Homo-oligomer: A and B are copies of this chain.
Amino acid sequence: MSGSYDLNALFAPKVVAIIGASATPGKIGNTVIQNLIDAGYEGKIIPVNPKSTEILGRPVVKDVAGLPHGLDLAVLTVPKQFVLGSMEELVKIGVKSAIIITAGFKEVGGEGAELEKKIQALCIKNNIALVGPNCLGLINMSDKVNVTFAPGQPLPGRISCFSQSGALFTSILDWALGEKVGFSKFISLGNEAVLNESHILEYLGNDPDTSVVMGYMENIIDGQKFIEKVKEVTRKKPVVVVKSGVSSAGAKAAASHTGSIAGADNAYSTAFKQTGVIRAQSMSEFFNLAQAFSKASLPQGPNLAIITNAGGPGIMATDACEKTSLKMVQPASATIESLKKVLPSYASFRNPLDIGGDATATAYKAALEEIVADDSFNAVLVILTPTSTAFEHIEAITQGLIDTIKKTDKPVFPCFMGKERISIAEKMFQNADVPFFTFPEPAIESIETMYKYAQWKEREEMTYVVPERDKAKAAAVVEEAVKTGAAEIVEYQAQQILKAYNMPALASDLATTADEAAAAAEKIGFPVVLKIASVQISHKSDVGGVKVGLKNAGEVRAAFTEVTERAAKMRPDAHITGCLIQQMAPKGTKEIIIGFKRDAQFGPLLMFGLGGIYVEILKDIAFRLVPLSKEDAHNVIREIKTYKLLSGARGEKGVNFESLEDVLLKVSQLAADFPQLTEADFNPVLVNSERAYVADVRLALK
């Protein structure tokens, strides 16, 4: 039960046995063997079938017992009722890996789900790298392996892809065939009884034949493990995913489809962002990025040049660029001088560089050569509209561009706007492994995503610090609350936790008599706030349980008596501990909400926003998964749209950000320390130019 599976045996097996091999063309047990043969597989194929002697020219073995010991890979296509038995037999011959293509397990629930649990336990116990059940199989073009029943063979290439949906697997393959995009590995994950996206990511991260990892996901079973594995991969190569089930309706559909509950989409988005995973928002973006990342190098800066044979598309591309973080700088003056020698006088000699509707191959090639040689630019978009001249010279123009693109290490994206008559160019670019776009917008968006990934790869290491705290003291409070069966930790108990974590709170003390209250107020300093303290009374103002702006000891004493007497009368059921005496909030503070919610997949998801209408109406919130690094604490504050309100809008002083970041890191630590805390609201946290104060806190328990 080590959990370290032999994925080499799975992806590059020397021997493959097909359990349920069939001599009938069209049957899955036949298609898998045919695909393996068509892929040019160089290892040994052993069909297993009790009745046949030869299938597709390969000698057949009668049963699993007849297979060689230490078999690399078994592919199971037998009916559902025979799967567990076959797996038990395979354990006996010490199989290293298996793919169960057969469906009818967890996804149908009931008996199927029970059966899958047994198979899962068997594989885990015996360290069998299992893919499926209920999957299409896998492809490894680098080693000429194709054990799927998907029609057709993909082209070889450097993208590796995993899919939690078999149908999407076929769509991606078909799209890739049409676009001449090639793959190294391609895995249909099925029900993920043993191997899931985290195992595959780890393997693909270390795979020298994989340059880009793509994935279609519906859910992640172990969020923490995913985060741990994927952030190692994104250090080395881009990971692009499409994650469905964003909407509440979508999430419902996901649940019924995969038989497991999808996590909240915010947690997914945050996990992807914090680990550098690129999340495509649609299938078309997914495919555009596959093309871009696999066929072009990363831009080393934000500066985009646009070459075009028409003004209109140049303007549209400029519009599209302005929506991104890319920049449209101007060419160096030396470049302009050189361009003037090779282009006609009516060219624009600025960015976008309009070389005119009658530009031929010479103009396109010369312009691109000058632009890629100019250090001002990090990426180039080359637009062509099929004017009569362009149409006449389309092959020469395309060839000239390809020749230049092959000599530069900057990403160059041709964008030929049309369909019918530019199709020859599309094919030429595809065959030359150059990314090709029909519209400027998706090309520019792809370049921006690549630029952002280049920045991610170059980023500094994050700094994680454990803030000083008295964990034992906090633990005592939490455990006591759990013991009493309380749903929440509030007020005095919550204040104890703030103290244990050195969180800057408004000074406060619990008083059980009017005299104690007056003494506490003297100590804190006037004016003070007085609040009824009772575990049973959560809505204090309903019982008139809050008095603000008390200016002296007399007022405090009177308030104590009034508040406790009224509460006792109105809520005879409640045990009244006394009153909480609290420092008044200083002036000029901004209200902040900090909170966390424990996500089923990813653990505590921390939320940051400005209090009141900003969170409630404008939904201006930023998220991070716990633990936060120092950089996270810094950045999460700057991610909200209303950040300017904190940094000093309209001539105000900015708030003390360090103090706010300190609170964030301590909330993060608290969430990490106590899994018993399911949700928390630090609301409001008050902050001015001096410091931050936690004015109120509620901690929800399991």
Contact = CB atoms under 8 A, between A and B. Distances in A.
A493 to B, nearest CB: 28
Nearest to A166: B357
Interface stretch (A251-259, A452-460, A474-482, A526-534): A251-259
Interface in A170-198: 170-171, 173-179
A642 B620 CA distance: 12
Interface stretch (A419-427, A508-516, A552-560): A419-427
A598 B423 CA distance: 46
Contact of A282 (B246, B320, B642): B320
Which of A31, A108, A170, A439 has the most chain B CB within a 10 Å cutoff?
A170
Contacts of A328: 249
A316 B617 contact: no
A242 interface: yes
A637 to B, nearest CB: 15
Interface string A410-423: 00000001111111
Contacts of A314: 253, 257
A495 interface: no
Given A319-B245, A649-B617, A386 B174 contact: yes
A421 B386 contact: no
A613 interface: yes
A146 interface: no
Contacts of A245: 315, 319
Contacts of A316: 242, 244, 250, 282-283
A132 interface: no
Contact of A417 (B175, B386, B388, B617): B175
Nearest to A417: B171
A163 to B, nearest CB: 8
A484 interface: no
Nearest to A247: B322
Interface in A299-320: 309-316, 318-320
A152 interface: yes
A246 B417 contact: no
Interface in A227-283: 242, 244-250, 253-254, 256-258, 282-283
A340 interface: no
A168 interface: yes
A178 B151 CA distance: 27
Contacts of A315: 218, 244-245, 250, 253-254, 257
A166 to B, nearest CB: 7
Which of A171, A176, A439, A612 has the most chain B CB within a 10 Å cutoff?
A171
A420 B315 CA distance: 33
Contacts of A440: 283
Contacts of A258: 311
A590 to B, nearest CB: 11
Interface string A382-418: 0001111011000000000000000000000000011
A284 interface: yes
Nearest to A283: B439
A649 B618 CA distance: 12
B167 A387 contact: yes
A631 interface: no
Given A284-B441, A310-B168, A419 B174 contact: yes
B421 A311 contact: no
Given A247-B318, A249-B328, A322-B246, A175 B311 contact: no
A641 interface: yes
Contacts of A441: 282-284
A423 to B, nearest CB: 7
A628 B166 CA distance: 54
Contacts of A320: 282
A216 interface: yes
A257 B311 contact: yes
A186 B598 CA distance: 59
Contacts of A385: 167-168, 170-171
Interface of A: 31, 108, 149-152, 163-168, 170-171, 173-179, 216, 218, 242, 244-250, 253-254, 256-258, 282-284, 309-316, 318-323, 328, 346, 348, 352, 354, 357, 385-388, 390-391, 417-423, 438-442, 612-613, 616-618, 641-642, 644-645, 649-650
Given A108-B346, A151-B391, A167-B309, 18 more contacts: A149-B388, A151-B388, A151-B421, A165-B312, A171-B417, A174-B417, A174-B418, A175-B438, A216-B312, A244-B319, A246-B319, A247-B322, A257-B314, A258-B311, A283-B439, A284-B438, A617-B642, A617-B644
A-B pairs, 5 with minimum CB distance: A178-B419, A167-B310, A174-B418, A165-B312, A247-B322
6 contacts: A163-B312, A165-B310, A247-B319, A257-B354, A283-B441, A617-B641
